[in-house]
């Protein structure tokens, strides 16, 4: 299980990450990534699995699988990020390997988007703005 300090626990935090973070979608899952103000703090993960996904057994199985994927990703992502997985109903039909692949893809792509300057930022810096 993830240590308590590495979990998003407050509703306001979830809301800020989902609304202001970089969003990456894959079939069955949407990943929102946001950079934390203090870059040396541990990366935190949050999970949104609504009742539309299925009964409690299905929702908890998906959440457990995403926690395992999060532990695997922690060294690759590094410190200073918040990651929230929003699970859609079609994810209930995915196997562990498919879910891992989609969560990994979304998480790493979101982190890369934050870390790499956008094309607009590059054009603005070249024009001296």
Tens digits of per-residue pLDDT, 32-44?
Answer: 999 998 888 899 9
- 123, part of any domain: no
Residues linked to residue 45 through DSSP beta bridges, in sequence order: 7, 83
Domain CATH for 101: 3.30.230.10
Question: What is the rounded average pLDDT for all residues in the chain?
Answer: 88
The mean per-residue pLDDT over the stretch 80-89 comes to 96
- 121, part of any domain: no
Count of the separate structural domains present in the chain? 1
Residue numbers of the domain that contains 49? 4-115
Q: At residue 86, does pLDDT exceed 80?
A: yes
pTM: 0.85
Q: What are phi and psi of 24, to 5 degrees?
A: -130, 130
Pairing of strands 22-26, 29-35: antiparallel
Task: Please give the span between the terminal C-alpha atoms of the chain, in angstroms, as a whole number.
Answer: 47
């Amino acid at each position: 299980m993830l240590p308590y300090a590495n979990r998003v626990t407050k509703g306001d935090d979830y809301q800020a990450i989902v609304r202001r973070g970089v969003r990456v979608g894959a079939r069955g899952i949407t990943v929102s990534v946001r950079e934390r103000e203090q870059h040396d703090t541990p990366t935190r993960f949050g999970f949104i699995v609504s009742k539309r996904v299925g009964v409690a057994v299905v929702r908890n199985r998906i959440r457990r699988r995403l926690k395992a994927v999060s532990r695997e990703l922690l060294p690759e992502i590094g410190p200073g990020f918040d990651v929230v997985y929003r699970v859609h109903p079609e994810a209930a039909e995915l196997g562990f390997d498919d879910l891992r692949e989609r969560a990994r893809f979304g998480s790493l792509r979101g982190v890369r988007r934050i870390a790499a300057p956008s094309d607009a930022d590059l054009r603005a810096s070249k024009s001296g703005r």
